Each structure stands twice: as structure tokens, then as C-alpha cells.
Amino acid sequence: MSVHDATTKAALPAEAKNQFLHDAAEHVRDIDHRSFVRKALGGYYVTRDSQKAKYRDWEHARDAAALAKWSAVNRLDELLPLFVTNFEAGGGIVHFARDAQEARTIIVDLVRASNAKAIIKSKCMTTEEIHLNDALEKEGYVVVESDLGEFIQQLRGEPPYHFVFPCMHVRRGEISDLFQKHLGTEPTQSPEELTMIARRYMRQLYVDADVGITGANFLVAETGQISITENEGNARLTAALPRVHIALSGIEKVVASLADLAVLLPMLATAGTGQPMTCYNTLYSGPQKNDEPDGPREMHLVLLDNARTAILADPEQRDSLHCIRCGACLNVCPIFKNVGGFTYGTTYQGPIGSVITPHLRGLSDWNHLSSASSLCGACTDACPVRIDIHHHLLHNRRNAVRASPKRLEHIGHQLFAFVAARPWLFAAGGKLFRWSLGFLKKIRPPLLRQWLETRDLPPAPPKSFRQLWKERS
């Protein structure tokens, strides 16, 4: 695939913040786009709420889901080796990767060793995180994304807009044009027909592919199975027809037992898309067994660290590893809805992306994401595994200030503390400010200018609050 916009941004991290501000401003002006995305999410709210109502108590169920992930992540030292042992007993091969580079090398080597000609891939955000497609294409392999949304994004040469709904910002007309251009199909306005075009196109690719690449949603320590959640059936096909199955997963996806899945699978579906269960929830324990008719001859699982152990080492934010990537926090986030998915310039968009990206790519360059929040807490309320998302944004702000204190801000705070502790000075300051406001508005000093660009400054009231209060009593 050609260069990904967002990954280019990532390559120039010093500019990440400016890029964010620029893109956000652009996006906010695009009212059509915003209302389109809101409309798409409108349907989600309705189905999610009606499915949540089937739970006898969603909040208690969230407790259980949070506990399942919390206890697994905090026992990772014990559960991860247990998972590896059990998985290997099923005939699969485990590869550890310390970082993205190592994971790419492992996968490219595996593909090469299997003499693959064609590779089919099902949706996997971890492969986006390590930019796997670019690496494989550089080696001359053709990789086809089989998830419909991902396929559309691949043809558009864009990364996913939302990590659960990759092309939610694209209109059907654009998809029709895209298919016409790349697949030579007739134009159509019907989502159904567009889906069938992709279905027909992909069929032969599944049959011909030598290697199938998938992600994993959960790693079950007790039984050594990996669990994959999907709606379209593309992951099932990807893990059924090719000779070799390669799965890539972060190490934090471990859960203790199958029983935990009985809680997490339905909650992932309800929080993510409002379904009772996602269409296919599949557990794989290795390659085809002797007495089974079909399946891959080899199965490889690449377990990726890539800064996850750094998050693990931070007890305050360790819970951000509980994330099951349901996308609920994006769907309710006022910032996401206004700035859109691409503005973040990250693999993981939205509130949880803003929490973990500074860990994955460096706090100094990505801290601006912590400020891209109204701290309304909608994300924390939506999270099925009770990650304290909005507080982590505050933690990141604090850590960034600790790492590189802002002198001017500090002086400002001290000045305020000094003034606020002296009522007469406070009153005088207030008077001065009320008096000079009109003047400031006219000359627009630098600090105020930015603020005034998109906002109006109302005239100062003639009397201060304290004066009004006194008169009242």
C-alpha cells in the first residue's frame, strides 16, 4: 500500500502537535463530515442501549469484566508463560518480539520460509501498530485486507479512521467510485451490492492464499487457545484455507480461563457494536489436527511487547492494558466526534489512544493528546472493563509537566496564588481586569489572540461577584 498519511505524521513526531491542531481546526469546520459521522454513531447508541437493557445489571457485569482483566494483567508473570506452554502443546509455535521491528522481521521471515505467493489478512490493529503491510510490501508481497472496512481503507491508501469502524467516514458513493476504479465494477448506491462486490472479489483470494494473517482478542492461559472476534467471517476464512496461519497479539491480551470469556465476549460485543455477541467468536489452539479435515498445517503466534511492559511497570496506568479494543470510548467522545479519527495521527484513536500513545511513542511528542479532552468522563463511563481513562489523561498531563516544567505557567500560578491569598489585591486585580478588557480585545495580545480566533469575548460586567454578593445581603 502507498504511504499512510497518519504514519507519515508519526515519522515526524516533532510536528505531531501542530499537525493535530491544524487538522482539528480543519475538521471542525467540515460540518458535513461531522454530521455524517454523528449520524453513523446515532444507530450505534440505539442498538447498544437496547442490548445493554438485556443485562440484568450492566454495572455489575462491568465489575466482573474489570476484575477478569485486572487479575489477569496483574498475574501476567504467571499467566503468560502458562499460556505459552499450553499453546505450544497444541502444536503452534510462539515467537516473542520486543518491539515492532522485531515483530516485522519475524513475520516477514515466516512468510518467506513458507514460500508464500499470496497473503490474506483479517483485521488486526496490532499489525497496524507495527506497520506490517508496508514491511511485507517492501519485500514484494501483495497483502490483501479482507475485512470490508479495512479493504476500503487499503484501496483508499488511508489508515483506519476508527479502530472498530475503519471506514465510518466514507460515503457509499465514494466506495462505489473506488470499486469502479480498482475493481472495474459498475457504480451502485446500494450498501448491499457494494458488500457483494467485495465478497465476490475476495472469494478466490481466500482459496489461493498461502498465508493468512490474523490478530487475537484474547489469549486463554488455561487452555492455550487464542480467541478472535469478528462479524464478517473473514478471519474464519483466513484461518481456515491458507497453509500457514500467523497471528499477532500484544502480550496483554492474556486472560486466565475460558470462563472469563463467558463474561468478556458478550460485553465486548455489546459495548463495541451493540450486538449480543459478535457474529464469530473463534478459539484456535493450533494448526489442523490429524483427524480434522482441513486447516493450516502451521500456526505461528507472535507475542508483541512494544512498550507494553513499560505501561505494565507504571502501576498508576497499568489498567490501560485492560483495554479490549471495543471502541466504546471513541463512540461517546465529544472530541472524537468533532475532530475525527485521522486528526489523532495515531494507530489507536480516541480517548484510549490518547492514553497509550504517549507510552508507545514518547510522552514529549504525544502529550498534546492528553489535552485533547474535555475530561467529561464519558469514556470512563462507557468502558466495559472500567479503565479510568480520563484520569489517565490528567496523569499524562502531570507527568509531562514534571518531565519538562513550564516556567511561564509556573510563574503565572504563583502569581495567582499570591494575589488570591490577599483579598484587597484580588479585588484590585479584578477591577483592573474588568477595566482593561475592552482594551485588550482591541489590541489582541498574543496569548489572547489564539483564544479570540474562534470565540467571542463578552463585555466585562460592571460589578464583581463579590460586590453583587455584598449588595444582596
Q: What residue ranges bind ligand SF4 (CB under 6 A)?
A: 271, 323-329, 352, 382-385, 387, 389
106 near another protein (CB under 8 A)? yes
Q: What's the CA gap between 304 and 127, in Å, rounded?
A: 10
181 near another protein (CB under 8 A)? no
Q: Which partner from the list another protein, ligand SF4, none does 434 bind, CB cut-off 5 to 8 Å by kind?
A: none
Q: How far is the CB of 368 from ligand SF4 (least distance, A)?
A: 19
Closer by beta carbon to ligand SF4, 84 or else 267: 267
186 near another protein (CB under 8 A)? no
Q: Which partner from the list another protein, ligand SF4, none does 309 bind, CB cut-off 5 to 8 Å by kind?
A: another protein
Tally Cβ neighbours within 10 Å of residue 38: 11
- Tell me which stretch binds another protein (CB under 8 A): 3-11, 255-263, 355-363, 452-460: 255-263
Closer by beta carbon to ligand SF4, 271 or else 303: 271
Q: Which partner from the list ligand SF4, another protein, none does 323 bind, CB cut-off 5 to 8 Å by kind?
A: ligand SF4
95 near another protein (CB under 8 A)? yes
Q: How far is the CB of 39 from ligand SF4 (least distance, A)?
A: 21
Member of 55, 108, 375, 440 binding another protein (CB under 8 A): 55
456 near another protein (CB under 8 A)? no
67 near another protein (CB under 8 A)? yes
118 near another protein (CB under 8 A)? no
Closer by beta carbon to another protein, 9 or else 169: 169
Q: What's the CA gap between 374 and 139, in Å, rounded?
A: 44
Lookup: cell for 165: 469502524
Closer by beta carbon to another protein, 233 or else 430: 233
- Per-residue binder mask for another protein (CB under 8 A), 300-319, x = binder: ---x-x---xx-xx-xx-xx
- Using the Cα atoms of residue 335, residue 340, residue 346 and residue 347 in order, give the sign of their dihedral: positive
Lookup: cell for 435: 477595566
Closer by beta carbon to ligand SF4, 197 or else 328: 328
Closer by beta carbon to another protein, 16 or else 167: 167
411 near another protein (CB under 8 A)? no
Q: Which partner from the list another protein, ligand SF4, none does 155 bind, CB cut-off 5 to 8 Å by kind?
A: none
